Amino acid sequence: MTELRGFYTLWLREVTRYIRDRVRIVSSFVQPLLWLVVFGVGIGASLRGGLPGLNYQQLIFPGIVGQTLLFTSMFMGISVIWDKEFGFMKEILVAPISRFSIFLGKMFGDSTDALIQGAIVILLGFALGMTSDPVAFFICLPIMLLITFGLVSIGLTIASFMGSLESFGAIQSFINLPLFFLSGALFPIQNLPDWMQNASKLNPLTYGVDALRTVLLGGAWQPYQVQPLLVDIGIVAGFDVVMIIVGTWAFGRMK
């Protein structure tokens, strides 16, 4: 019971902090909007007739949702560094609850925040006319949450090893961009050269994006699908479990 309430209070803290940060919520519109409108229209215009049955904007829309989940989730790790820097981490770490609950509370909280960001992008897609199926929106929510668990766990794990905010910036180059470019977010992976296709298949985000596309694009995506929906979800969930174990271990060694 104590563990559960510890978990709940840590979750609540992350979400409260996020909701108070209006700037972060408002700015979360900007990047996806640029990708969808400027990048999507620009590339789409020079690729006319590239993928039968799909226009380019529609194709990258679920990819940009995935990208938002990726970048937001990774960025959440920074809260661990803040907490360490400002001493708040000590208050949490000496509390009489397990590191598993601490990690899980923080992870769920950050995932909730990332989920809100992802949902905002999907709603943006509604506004831009890229999708119009409210059922698909609701099916996307649990899938997005599953995607964020693993990604947030990566961010938290890395941050738990880091001492300064400066070094956290390296995540952008070493993790965010490779995972993004190799996830099939901007192009289907079928026609890629072998090495790139194999690299993409090792990337858990590939299956997350694939699942989102299956839900949001429906039949039009069928020919390009990487895996059936349930397999996608299974792979993402498996990755989540592994990352939660790693993250709990990483939090356990934090002082």
Q: 93 or 196: whose CB is closer to another protein?
A: 93
- CB 216 within 8 Å of CB 199: no
What minimum distance in Å lies between the beta carbon of 54 and another protein? 40
Cα 166 to chain centroid distance, Å, stands at: 22
Nearest CA to 31 out of 65, 78, 1 is that of 65
Q: 5 or 245: whose CB is closer to another protein?
A: 5
Q: 13 or 201: whose CB is closer to another protein?
A: 13
Find tokens 């519109």 and name the residue.
29
Note the residues at the interface with another protein (CB under 8 A): 1-2, 5-6, 8-10, 12-13, 16-17, 20-21, 85-88, 90-97, 165, 255
What minimum distance in Å lies between the beta carbon of 23 and another protein? 11
What minimum distance in Å lies between the beta carbon of 87 and another protein? 4
Tokens of 179: 């995972």
Q: 23 or 135: whose CB is closer to another protein?
A: 23
Q: What is the chain's alpha carbon radius of gyration, rounded to the nearest angstrom? A: 18
Tokens of 125: 């897609």
The three-state secondary structure class of 52 is coil
SS (H, E, C) 199-226: HHHCCHHHHHHHHHHHHHHHHHHHHHCC
The three-state secondary structure class of 130 is coil
What minimum distance in Å lies between the beta carbon of 85 and another protein? 4
What minimum distance in Å lies between the beta carbon of 107 and another protein? 16
Q: 87 or 219: whose CB is closer to another protein?
A: 87
